[in-house]
Amino acid sequence: MARFRRKLDRPLLWVQERARLWARRRQGVDSDPTTLNRRRTYILPTGLGCGFGFVLFAMLLASMNYNSSMGFGLTFLLTGLGLVAMHWCHQNLTGLTIRGYRVRPAFAGQPLVLEMIVENPSRGPRYELVLQWDNRIAEPVDLAAGESATVGIEVPTERRGRIQVRGVRISTRFPFSLFTCWTWLHPELSGVVYPAPAAIGAPPPPDSTDVGGAQDDSRGEDDFAGLRSFRPGDSPRHIAWKAAAKGDELPVKQFAGTDVTTHWLDWSALEGQDNEARLSRLCRWIIDAHSEGHAYGLRLPDEEFPPAIGRRHRHRCLAALADFPATVPRRG
């Protein structure tokens, strides 16, 4: 039964993909923010709406056959109700503002989350707004007048790399589900899928670790080196309060004059393992070094990142692992 249903869905999926590509050529890449105007919103009757129209046509024929004024009145009343529903459905989507496109990085095997902020700048409420990306549908959103909401869509991942955001669909069937009104969003955006980290195991080999605290002591505590996560025992005066106000955790200022252990995480130190196993082990070392507040550098066959600390450095290193070519021959 499932196989038969997939065969029936293929023509529909093909039509939807052709329509999405046509809309992309017509609209181009969407900026941030994006306002949904009438030119880019489309509306068609649903299956329920087609059935409703067929019933109205049958009622009209019966009223004409029996010359029933009450039949005509009921038919025209329901027809007017359907027209109002069509107008209301279209207005429910038109005028919305979409901004703050963002894709949260994820590790392979974990869901990649696409987030965006949906704003309702009008004086009336909006109901049953549904966002869809890559056949994944978010929970319907209702917005009061002047309200905004952050909507997230989770997409499962299996392997590392980059995922392009192609055609986010926002739609509504409010009211009565007689019509569906939709549009496509085409932000210039991609998501990063880091390699799946290896299980907690051996630390980096000794020859890839350099303790650089003593040579830096002479520079004093005035040389700011970056931010790291808060650990029990850290001085409150070293907390970066401005940065803390923007996130959920407390970042702590790291200075060059403090005793910092520097790790070099080297691709060649993992001799005898295949490429994916090396990437997973390097990913684990990066996570551990970041959580412990150690400065670390990363050496890959064709790229090198000097030792540093902080979230940005962590992301750069993990993104380099995500973008690492799959066909690079084994070295070392």
Q: What are 53-82's pLDDT values in tens digits?
A: 999 999 999 999 999 999 999 999 999 999
Return the closest-CA partner of residue 33 out of 95, 105, 104: 95
Beta strand pairing call for 261-266 and 295-300: parallel
Q: Which residue has the higher pLDDT, 217 or 108?
A: 108
pLDDT at 215: 37
| pLDDT at 106 exceeding the cut of 90 | yes
Give me the mean pLDDT over the 21-34 stretch: 77
Omega before 251 cis (within 30°)?
no
Give me the mean pLDDT over the 96-115 stretch: 93
Where exactly are the structural domains of the chain?
15-193, 206-322
Cα(231)–Cα(322) distance, integer angstroms: 28
| pLDDT at 262 exceeding the cut of 80 | no
pLDDT at 309: 85
3-state secondary structure of 135: coil
Give me the mean pLDDT over the 275-299 stretch: 90
| pLDDT at 18 exceeding the cut of 80 | no
| Contact of 98 with 116, CB cutoff 8 Å | yes
| pLDDT at 225 exceeding the cut of 80 | no
pTM, to two decimals: 0.73
86 HSE (CA, 13 A, CB side) = 16
Q: Which residue has the higher pLDDT, 39 or 134?
A: 39
pLDDT at 4: 55
Q: Which residue has the higher pLDDT, 261 or 187?
A: 187
**Per the structure block, which two tokens stand in for 214?**
């003593």
Distances 117 to 95, 104, 123, 149, 219 between C-alpha atoms, Å: 14, 14, 18, 6, 45
pLDDT at 233: 57
**Per the structure block, which two tokens stand in for 303?**
């790229």
Give me the mean pLDDT over the 142-171 stretch: 91
Give residue 217's pLDDT band: very low, low, confident or very high (50, 70, 90). very low
| pLDDT at 13 exceeding the cut of 70 | no
| pLDDT at 209 exceeding the cut of 60 | no
Could you identify the residue written with the tokens 């973008």?
Answer: 323
| pLDDT at 326 exceeding the cut of 50 | yes
Give residue 270's pLDDT band: very low, low, confident or very high (50, 70, 90). confident
Percent of the chain scoring above 70 in pLDDT = 75
Cα(114)–Cα(93) distance, integer angstroms: 20
List the beta bridge partners of residue 114: 103, 153
Cα(128)–Cα(172) distance, integer angstroms: 6
Cα-Cα-Cα-Cα dihedral sign, residues 253, 257, 216, 261:
negative
pLDDT at 200: 77
| pLDDT at 85 exceeding the cut of 80 | yes
Instruction: Please state which of the ranges 172-181, 232-241, 251-260, 320-329 shows the lowest mean pLDDT.
Output: 251-260
Give residue 218's pLDDT band: very low, low, confident or very high (50, 70, 90). very low
pLDDT at 221: 46
User: Amino acid identity, residue 200?
Assistant: I
Give me the mean pLDDT over the 125-129 stretch: 95
